[in-house]
């Protein structure tokens, strides 16, 4: 039981925040959670399709991190596995699913059955089930009984991966409902959702679905923080064929058991290893080169950043956002920020000259600021109180955040897709993807990084010119 509690500690905390009101509630919650059972189905036309297999394997991966009872149909044994998942190497689809499930959850019970078990929640890929998911290029579809979704092989991973996140979120919603959670978070079941990873629209009849580029060069990327969100970034990039460039993963921590429940690419055997090394190995034999940088973000200097065109910020709120503010004060050319809060994700494309910067989003409280860190313009230090707040979270939310950040990277790297890039800011709840908040957020005049000050903007321009 202790290993289970540590493995699922962040998810347990989130469930308790949403459902527990007394000690008796806590006991009931624990029992109902342990009894949750999920059965996976896949229609024959999708089981032989790359996108269909990727949705299935990704769904097993995500749901297996918070559900301890899974069942799979015997029919998967007859299907050759063609989706090269990041780990697991079964020759048939059943074997691949079992490889993935048993490598991520220390207490998982998995059954192979000829018919769906009683009381199990069924998730189907293009199949009749309690919850169904499908995908089409940039589109991810959930419970689309009234929409015609074509089954066609293409190499765009964003539709299938986000579909698996939406399906996992609906399984989680059913769990919350069983546990007595109140309000729309537990009871607003979604149907006929066609979500676009291209522009974050939902059920828009005018939404376009351009072909995925055959080759993409992302240049040199630095991922600051190698945790759950960056696992989502790495997963999306790993599933893109023909991707070129270089990605460097920065972090100074080792993987712990409590991480495995949320890290899309992490296995039980990775516990104790460097987070950076773990992600680098995912890109063995891939066209994108990957490198570790084992150091804290606070040690990064402006010179370190000169070789990176894009920085993906997946840092948490540790030390009152000290790392995020330090990174912004190094004035990198471009920052894609990705984060989570409960069941929601936040995404931002940071343009230091226009709209919010990381300082606007995460300025310390004014009472905690003594002076302003400003390596470009002569200021020196930020003093903040050390307040570590570990957020409650679950696998599919962190993964969705990282996948969305990777989508922004691809759109910014391909001229034909530039117009679809997020201008500024996105907030999205996995329980309500149809209510995504895409908007422009203006600069905060009290920003600790002084991004609205002319001298800071000139320093940014000068720095980019020097590079």
pLDDT in tens, 177-216: 888 887 767 778 888 999 999 999 999 999 999 999 999 9
209 in any annotated domain: no
- The pLDDT of residue 100 is 93
Closest Cα partner for 375 from 303, 465, 271?
303
pLDDT at 391: 63
- Residue-level pLDDT at 119: 87
Low-confidence ranges of the chain (pLDDT < 50): 1, 366-389
The region that residue 331 occupies, defined by phi over 0 for left and psi between -120 and 50 for alpha, beta otherwise, is left
Task: Provide the pLDDT for residue 382.
Answer: 33
Residues 273 and 163 both lie in one domain: no
User: Could you read off the pLDDT of 155-181 as tens digits, one per residue?
Assistant: 899 999 999 999 999 999 999 888 888
- On whether residue 416 sits in a domain, the answer given is yes
Do 150 and 278 fall within a single domain? no
Number of domains in the chain: 2
Q: What is the pTM of this model?
A: 0.92
Do both 128 and 247 map to the same domain?
Answer: no
Determine contact, residues 166/146, Cβ cutoff 8 Å.
Answer: no
Is 77 inside any structural domain?
yes
**Considering the domain boundaries, does residue 156 fall inside one?**
yes
Domain end, chosen from 162, 196, 230, is at 196
pLDDT of residue 128: 85
Pair 161, 233 in one domain? no
Is residue 208 assigned to a domain? no
Residues 171 and 284 in one domain: no
The answer on 393 and 309 residing in a single domain is yes
Same domain? 275 vs 387: yes
Residue 135: domain span: 2-196
> Is residue 361 domain-shared with residue 427, that is, in the same domain?
yes
Annotate 176-194 with b (16+ C-beta within 10 A) or e (fewer).
bebbebeeebbeeebeebb
Q: Indicate whether 192 and 226 sit together in one domain.
A: no
Q: Is residue 455, in this structure, part of any structural domain at all?
A: yes
228: domain CATH number is 3.40.50.720
Same domain, yes or no: 192 and 69 = yes
Q: Is residue 202 part of a domain?
A: no
Q: Provide the pLDDT for residue 185.
A: 77
């Amino acid at each position: 039981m202790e290993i289970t509690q540590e493995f699922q500690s962040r998810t347990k905390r989130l469930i308790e925040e949403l459902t527990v009101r007394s000690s008796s509630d806590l006991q009931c919650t624990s029992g109902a959670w342990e009894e949750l059972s999920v059965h996976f189905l896949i229609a024959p036309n999708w089981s032989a399709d790359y996108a269909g297999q990727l949705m299935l394997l990704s769904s097993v991966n995500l749901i297996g991190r918070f559900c301890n009872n899974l069942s799979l149909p015997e029919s998967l044994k007859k299907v050759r596995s063609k989706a090269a998942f990041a780990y697991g190497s079964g020759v048939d689809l059943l074997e691949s699913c079992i490889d993935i499930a048993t490598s991520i959850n220390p207490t998982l019970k998995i059954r192979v059955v000829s018919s769906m078990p009683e009381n199990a929640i069924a998730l189907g890929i293009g199949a009749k089930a309690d919850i169904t998911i499908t995908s089409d290029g940039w589109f991810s579809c959930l419970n689309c009984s009234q929409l015609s979704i074509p089954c066609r092989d293409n190499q765009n991973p964003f539709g299938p991966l986000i579909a698996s996140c939406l399906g996992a979120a609906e399984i989680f919603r059913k769990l919350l409902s069983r546990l007595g959670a109140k309000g729309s978070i537990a009871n607003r079941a979604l149907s006929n959702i066609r979500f676009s990873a291209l522009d974050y629209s939902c059920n828009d009849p005018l939404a376009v679905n351009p072909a995925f580029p055959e080759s993409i060069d992302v240049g040199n990327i630095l991922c600051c923080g190698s945790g759950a969100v960056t696992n989502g970034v790495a997963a999306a990039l790993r599933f893109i064929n023909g991707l070129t460039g270089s990605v460097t993963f920065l972090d100074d921590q080792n993987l712990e058991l409590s991480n495995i429940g949320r890290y899309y690419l992490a296995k039980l055997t990775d516990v104790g290893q460097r987070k950076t090394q773990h992600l680098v190995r995912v890109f063995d034999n891939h066209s994108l080169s990957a490198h570790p940088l084992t150091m804290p973000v606070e040690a990064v200097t402006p010179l370190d950043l000169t070789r990176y065109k894009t920085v993906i910020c997946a840092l948490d709120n540790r030390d009152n956002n000290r790392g995020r503010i330090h990174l912004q004060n190094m004035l990198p050319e471009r920052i894609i920020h990705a984060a989570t809060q409960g069941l929601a994700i936040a995404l931002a494309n940071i343009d230091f000259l226009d709209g919010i910067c990381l300082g606007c989003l995460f300025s310390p409280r004014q009472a905690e600021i003594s002076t302003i860190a400003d390596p470009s313009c002569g200021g020196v230090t930020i003093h903040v109180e050390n307040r570590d707040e570990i957020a409650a979270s679950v696998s599919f939310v962190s993964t969705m955040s990282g996948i969305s950040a990777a989508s922004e990277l691809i759109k910014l790297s391909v001229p034909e897709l530039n117009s679809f890039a997020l201008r500024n800011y996105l907030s999205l709840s996995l329980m309500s993807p149809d209510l995504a908040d895409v908007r422009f957020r203006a600069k905060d005049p009290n920003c600790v990084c002084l991004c609205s000050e002319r001298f800071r903007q000139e320093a940014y321009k000068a720095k980019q010119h020097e590079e």
